[in-house]
Structure 1
Amino acid sequence: MTEDYLPLAYLNAWEYCPRRFYLEYVLGEMEDNEHIILGRHLHRNVNEEGTFQEGETLIHQQQWVWSDRLKVAGIIDAVEECEGQLIPVEYKKGKMAQHLNDHFQLCAAGLCLEERTGKSITHGDIFYHGNRRRQTVVFTPQLRQATEHAIALAQIAAQSSMPAPIEHIKKCQSCSLQRICLPFEVKQLKHQN
């Protein structure tokens, strides 16, 4: 049913770097580095499916959601239910900042949750392990529109040729696919021609 739907995690990869998205999603390239391994280690407690109560909040971990309208699907790390309101929650390795890739992934999860439940999802939260802080992301009309636009672009990119490396040295240096992507080498070869 959802095999041709874009996975939510790859929407995050698309916004981070279209070339990384293409390498991972289209070509199936994966490579571990310290960031990937640490992220996997930090996720070990939230990667178990289940429901439990914390005070007044019911927490559903590892919730599968999808949107037939947007053709996206994936697993939300957690959905908190409190006083009838549902809040999607993602856990990230890094430090809290304005990471648009994380916001798109979370908003897309919220859109899926809305479609599945019929309830209005106004916001979601991202817990950043790097500084142990939780950021609330309001699903504004602008974020919803930008998220839907990013989904459409990623779906088109999946049918296109591989994008050129991005012009963001810090992202490239931290990327687990650097040895496969060869961004610096590709850029140097382009400058020589």
Structure 2
Amino acid sequence: MTKDYLLLAYLNAWEYCPRRFYWEYVLGEMQDNEHIILGRHLHRNIDQPGTIQEGDTLIHQQQWVWCDRLQVVGIIDAVEECDGQLVPVEYKKGKMAQHLNDHFQLCAAALCLEERTGRNITYGEIFYHANRRRQTVAFTPQLREMTEQAIALAHLASQNPMPAPIDNTKKCQSCSVQGICLPLEVKKLQQQNS
């Protein structure tokens, strides 16, 4: 593997906001906010590598995976194995909803697992801590295609200039790099110069 492999977590950042991706992945600028700190705190119990058994299910925690074809690499929070089927599981601090960034990260993890194991993985699950529920994510042909396209776009974006701020006030308010990205200030300067 080379340094050009995209971490799965950065794929999540890409779908959330290409500018955030650029700050974190290309420039290496990371900032903690309440969301990052809470997420780190909630992961403390699952961040221990190893395998445990719950009934008929083997749970492989903190599994390193990669996909040479797509040049992505990362850690899956857990891979559950039961009756010969592998199910990647991600743990998120928020509430269950249709978060495409979470779906891309999970699907990319499945694509890595498929390349590593030669097995077909049909779905994964995301456990949302805020409402303590699991969401099943089917790895449809459409989601697989969108995920692969997002990976390609993220790789391409890392070679280009920084993207402009997005027009999503809610995302910007919750973003960990808001204090260095300064989306409102950048937009105001762009308006003054146009």
| TM-score for both structures, normalised by structure 2 | 0.98
Deviations 1:41-86 (A, max 9, x none): 0000111101000111000000000001111000000000000000
Pair 1:64 & 2:64 matched: yes
Pair 1:97 & 2:97 matched: yes
Aligned-pair CA distance for 1:13: 0.3
Number of aligned residue pairs: 193
Provide the residue aligned with 2:172 in structure 1. 172
Aligned-pair CA distance for 1:3: 2.5
Aligned-partner residue type, residue 85 of structure 1: Q
Deviates further, 31-40 or 1-10:
1-10
Provide the residue aligned with 2:116 in structure 1. 116
Return the alpha-carbon distance in structure 2 between the equivalents of residues 138 and 178 of structure 1.
32
Aligned-pair CA distance for 1:7: 0.5
Provide the residue aligned with 1:28 in structure 2. 28
Structure 1, unaligned stretches of length 5 or more?
Answer: none
Aligned-partner residue type, residue 75 of structure 2: I
Provide the residue aligned with 1:140 in structure 2. 140
Rate the CA distance shift 1:2–1:63 in 2: closer, same or farther, 3 A.
Answer: farther
Q: SS of the residue aligned with 1:73?
A: strand
Provide the residue aligned with 1:37 in structure 2. 37
Q: SS of the residue aligned with 1:43?
A: helix
Deviations 1:132-159 (A, max 9, x none): 1100000000000000000000000011
Return the alpha-carbon distance in structure 1 between the equivalents of residues 190 and 133 of structure 2.
41
Q: SS of the residue aligned with 2:38?
A: helix
Q: SS of the residue aligned with 1:44?
A: helix
Provide the residue aligned with 1:10 in structure 2. 10
| Alignment RMSD | 0.6
Structure 2, unaligned stretches of length 5 or more?
Answer: none
Provide the residue aligned with 2:48 in structure 1. 48
Task: Report sequence identity in percent.
Answer: 80
Structure 1 runs of 4+ with >4 Å offset: none
Is 1:2–1:73's contact at 8 Å kept on the other side of the alignment?
Answer: no
Return the alpha-carbon distance in structure 2 between the equivalents of residues 4 and 174 of structure 1.
28
Q: SS of the residue aligned with 1:167?
A: coil
Pair 1:158 & 2:167 matched: no
